[in-house]
Chains A and B, each alone.
Chain A
Amino acid sequence: MLELKNEIIKVLNLEGVKPEDINNDDELFGKGLGLDSIDALELIVMLEKNYGIKLTDPAQGKEIFKSIRVMAEYVAANRKK
């Protein structure tokens, strides 16, 4: 999960945010990290680029990006790289 947090911080330009600031079960969107729809698209690109995971339906992102923990479990189960 540390690897994922670092990657999210880098890809989304979350200046000043450290991995320890992101709780594993906090919402990524809305109240938690406050990410928006463009960030969601960037995360979809990141999944393919870094882990070889291609989302065929962007709507899947809503479930996958619920929290760091949910996202990490999805990546672990589906990564091709």
Chain B
Amino acid sequence: MQCRPITFNSSRTEMNIHIVNSCHIIDRKFQYGTNELIDRSDKQESLAEFFSAIYHEMKLDYPKFFKMDLLCKAGFLASEALTEKNFDKTTPKEDMGIILFNSVSSLDADEKYQQTIKGEECFPSPALFVYTLPNIITGELAIRNKIMGESMFYVLKSYDTDRMMQIITDTFNNTTLHSALCGWLDIAHEETNVHLFLVERSHQ
């Protein structure tokens, strides 16, 4: 599905917010930065295998990644791409937030968890259960990047650029956020529609 990209029109906002970096994950392609692309569209692999391949290609070292559900893995990988250069992951940042959106909530984790509780042999999986809320990803990103500002996850009816921009702008207008990870993360039935951005308040 082609989605209109999130942009910030300074004539519509009370302040200027600009995009520092972006990452898009669609059709087994992982695109970020000015021109970085990892294209695995020709591989016959599951979404989990695709994310593992991206993790290894980016030479990441974060074992917790392998315990995450697919929504968190997508957000984690995209955020690692956005914070690849000159980003301090050790200092707590009260002026940085996380504002995320999708239309399917934690559907993938929900369906997988449901498999563990149906039937006569019912063994609910705690490791799956903890991901049956979409906002868990905001916690994962906050822990990884020491992001201490406002964090939120909105489930919208559909991809709605105007609505997302309004919420992001309102959040910046009403808080002291200087920067944020924000964007859309839809993961369902082995498909991804992920557009994540690192945005900053522009200096006037």
> Given B52, B123, B127, which contacts A49 in the complex, CB threshold below 8 Å?
B123
- For residue A21, give the distance in angstroms from its CB to the closest CB of chain B: 12
Asked if B5 lies at the interface with its beta carbon under 8 angstroms from chain A, I say: no
A38 touches B130 (CB 8 A): yes
Q: Within 8 Å of chain B (Cβ to Cβ): is A39? A: yes
Interface size on A, residues (CB 8 A): 13
Instruction: Name, among A12, A14, A38, A39, the residue most crowded by chain B CB atoms within 10 Å (CB to CB).
Output: A38
**Chain A nearest Cβ from B1, distance in angstroms:** 30
For A41, the chain B residues whose CB sits under 8 A away are 126-127
B123:A45 contact, CB within 8 angstroms:
yes
> Given B66, B123, B125, B126, which contacts A14 in the complex, CB threshold below 8 Å?
B66
A39 touches B123 (CB 8 A): no
Chain A residue contacts of B123, Cβ below 8 A: 45, 48-49
- Contact A45–B63 (Cβ < 8 Å): no
Query: CB distance A45 to B124 under 8 Å?
Result: yes
Instruction: List B residues at the A interface (Cβ < 8 Å).
Output: 52, 63, 66-67, 121, 123-127, 130
